[in-house]
Chains A and B, each alone.
Chain A
């Protein structure tokens, strides 16, 4: 394999994986903050404003890191994937440019108002600015998903005389069937990250007997939202996403499931290690016939195995695909178990004293990040060897004018930069959680972020 190709793939994979640690929390927290602001307006209870103010501070730090690690993503289409950009720009640049004018302007201008303007403009404008930031973040996510969905399942285009793809149907691009389900599934994942972070922070406050009133508030909101989102993530959004893969990327499905041979009444494997050389799974633990039912709604249905497809159509890293898919699904199942249990305890007014459960909730916050990352690895590695499914191979898309040496130079630069950013992020978030919502009242009862954080 061309070493420049490997470097450019690593370059994008590393920067996008790191970047997406931030937007998933941004998109997940934004609706929760709007809920707090709405409750404050509706019930006239100042505690909800302080809760919103506290999360706004976490949000602001997280948003900044999302923005500064996000700019390289838009640049990298051109810098590292020039031939892909030239080929597909006639289609996907519509989505990316629309993201710029419809989402980025919205969220960045109202973020300034949201963070600096609570005292100056009153609660109604502040609610509006919180809502606009939420809308901007979610619109932004939509256009990115539209872009990725086109790469997974290209629609609404024709090939021009020079061989590049040109848009011929604006609405088919935006309402690509793949995009709609992928969007819902992805946003559900973001809400899970946000609500787990909130519940875990609440559990930490209750367990450590610091600011318990807020701890309980965060737990209540976090657990309810997390339980709902976790269930919706499995059905319908995850289920429908799986159906689309079954229909349009059958070879990907076979590789995800570790299904080497076509089977009728195929079993679903819960745990097991794929052995590519001998084309089998080692140590499988499985549920008989479940895969046939899930993919075709019939217990005896035939599911195509990898043997049906020529080798050059197989995803080029089947073990990574298989594991990331199983990690995503496994964690998703655990999320449902944890959060429905917590919800039952909350319902029966036992959650705040059930220390064992609070420990589990507190320690669970990293796992949605892993599940979201694993989900995206499944989508992107699963699409291989294609960059645009069925149209352009990954090896045809990278910038052949940028050498492996130059690519490695900047990849290392990003690694260094992101190491520094990670350290700063952890220090700052740690401090904010240490301060908690009550810290705001010492400085400013309205939780104006800038005033409160100003020394």
Chain B
């Protein structure tokens, strides 16, 4: 039966491996190969500090095991062999459990993991043939552990993930992981240094106590002829695998008989009271502003984009400051604003088909454009300004004040208008799976560069001129000049967006529903 499942999975993968997805898969495979080879190399390196090798390999193995367990959860309940397929089949759970576990071993990822986990063998080979042999056993056990743990994790967390609430949570998690990975370039050297110079024994202990580190510990112990520890570590792996294999069938049975319905979004009870005691004006503009502000606080896509903007903005500024480089700190707020602007360049496309409501209401364009502009301004503006002021003050870089004060307010005001115009000019509807379409992602990247250039060039020209001519008044002149240009830009683009939405609403709607 495992063979049928493997064939079925292969058929599904063949169907879905077309065009863009194939290219994406190839890129992913290259990245993973690179990661696997560098893990292997980390096992070959000779470290000055004794024990550092085991700590480094244990840490990297931890990373790979986390990948195995979290990967299917992040991508979604195993999208090739969904458990729902088997719910109605008259197959005993125990037999299905064995088959599914067997099918799980027919996984290409095992090749990459074999390369990566071989770091343990390489580590052992540094101390001799016996340790290398222990390494081979450890690698095999770790691979089995990876597959079994991954399968069990789907059964445990799958129902949570496949509910809508869970998918929301998954989206946030993916965004968080990608954000952290993109910032890892700053953090990895820090962790690596701690591990290799032996200054942080606590960190080494933690990575070696975790099951992912047991292989490295066994090999390291074999190298020191501490056979007791070697046997204990390897037995630990065997016992862990056995426990997971034993709990898998009942878990699967439970999983197959439960509904995937998750928690519900509870809009706050206060909503009813707020409707009766309004803060916002009871006008079309107030209606749009109210709706938008609610969506900023409740929509997962919007919260994730704001979170990424905040994390990247703050961490890019703060991480260098940890090592004493304060030059970047004042720019955190501006970076947050630019990313928050670039992420929201798809006002109307992100509505999808919900945009029909705006189209059937006569004369709604003006209120709609203005409401969206103000909502973005109120969500991003105060936070960006606060970040800018606080980070600049903390940094003690007094030279930065005219720069950031000319940049931040202008950026918020200018972008607010431009976002509405971009939103009606370039509309990217959601992808079939509900996520952002590739063109929308590309637009974000272009906007990251284009928006600051368009909004900030007058202020930047004055600042650079002031810097070149050592003229402080010229630099401070950039503040009102930047504001004036941004205000003009905002006013003009808001009007243009309004006109476009009035005349081209059906065309915008057609693009948003694709």
Q: Do A and B come from one complex?
A: no
